[in-house]
Amino acid sequence: MAFIELSGVYKGYGNSKERTHVLENVDLSIERGELVSIVGYSGAGKTTLVSLLAGLIFPDKGTVKVDGKVVTGPSAERGVVFQNYSLLPWLSVLENVQLAVDQVFPKLTEAERRARSMKFVEMVNLGPAAAKRPKELSGGMRQRVSVARALAMEPEVLLLDEPFGALDALTRGVLQGELQRISQESGKTMLLITNDVDEGILLSDRIIPLGAGPRASLGPATVVDIPRPRDRKELNHDPRFREIRLGVLEYLLESGKQKRAEREAAAPKSSGASPQAEAVQVAEVSP
Ligand SMILES: Nc1ncnc2c1ncn2[C@@H]1O[C@H](COP(=O)(O)OP(=O)(O)OP(=O)(O)O)[C@@H](O)[C@H]1O
Ligand SMILES: [Mg+2]
């Protein structure tokens, strides 16, 4: 059995009359040490998928297992980097990281916990900013604190929900490089959620599209058989990179078209999304 295993997962929100059916029949297997990325439209259900794995919500049908055990709630074994950085504003960078370390390693001495926290602050290159409060940091720095905090808990699995989504392209590039390094050094199992196909290919062992919602399900997985370390600039000239990107994009476009046709068939009077609306969604997938 794979380390992470979702089978036949359905998840919706709301009461039975006005239920939003978000995920339908989602199957996913991730091996220990693998880095898998899932790329999909905004609103398709990516955070829903992460929340199921984090144990914050539960499937309507199907099973979510990590390390052979059904997920019944949050656990320090599954570190999450949320889409919004969720730092405590009154604590410094180091204290935000140490708060998590204190919870997970209560048996260590204060000095040991501090040293461990500092090690991870330095790993994300925030040593000089260790005493700063979140409001004194840039968005990219906050996101790095979030990554450091999750890593410092030494989770078995790291769940990253669009960790760089809110950042400018340059900062995003720097953090992608850092994540690539950390992933190689730590060998951790990681699930990276992104709306950027190129980022997914750059960083992962396998990339899987999440089709358009409602009732989104996962498309075929593609093994990213491009040697590491990968350089974003060089990748653009790599024929295999282009082939993978085209495959993922075509799947997403096709599933978007299909969902639009279904909507129009169900409600012929309201014509559904305009061509422009679809273009916007596609732009979100591949900025
Ligand atoms: N707690 C909730 N209650 C009701 N509906 C919800 C809830 N959370 C999410 N939804 C709906 O479920 C769908 C999927 O939401 P989700 O946050 O998983 O999307 P996403 O793929 O993460 O989007 P984004 O890329 O914008 O973060 C959306 O239609 C959203 O409105
Ligand atoms: Mg989301």
Q: Is 48 in the pocket of ligand 1 (CB under 6 A)?
A: yes
Interval between CA 14 and ligand 1 midpoint (Å): 12
Parts of the chain belonging to CATH 3.40.50.300 = 4-77+155-285
Interval between CA 46 and ligand 2 midpoint (Å): 5
Q: Is 22 in the pocket of ligand 1 (CB under 6 A)?
A: yes
Per-residue model confidence (pLDDT) at position 164: 87
Residue for token pair 């490089």: 177
Interval between CA 111 and ligand 1 midpoint (Å): 41
Residue range 50-68: mean pLDDT, rounded = 97
Residue 281: which region, alpha, beta or left (left: phi > 0; alpha: psi -120 to 50)? Answer: alpha
Residue nearest atom 16 in ligand 1 by C-alpha distance: 45
Which tokens go with 94?
Answer: 């180091």
Q: Is 219 in the pocket of ligand 1 (CB under 6 A)?
A: no
Share of the chain above pLDDT 70, in %: 93
If one counts every other C-beta atom within 10 angstroms of the C-beta of residue 168, the result is: 11
**pTM to 2 decimal places:** 0.89
Interval between CA 260 and ligand 2 midpoint (Å): 21
Per-residue model confidence (pLDDT) at position 276: 44
186 confidence band (pLDDT: 50, 70, 90)? confident
User: In terms of pLDDT, which residue wins out, 269 or 270?
Assistant: 269
Listed in sequence order, the residues at least 6 apart from 2 whose beta carbon sits closer than 8 Å to its beta carbon are 29, 30, 31
Neighbours of ion ligand 2 (CB under 5 A): 46-47
Residue nearest atom 28 in ligand 1 by C-alpha distance: 43
State the CATH class of domain 4-77+155-285: alpha beta
174 confidence band (pLDDT: 50, 70, 90)? confident
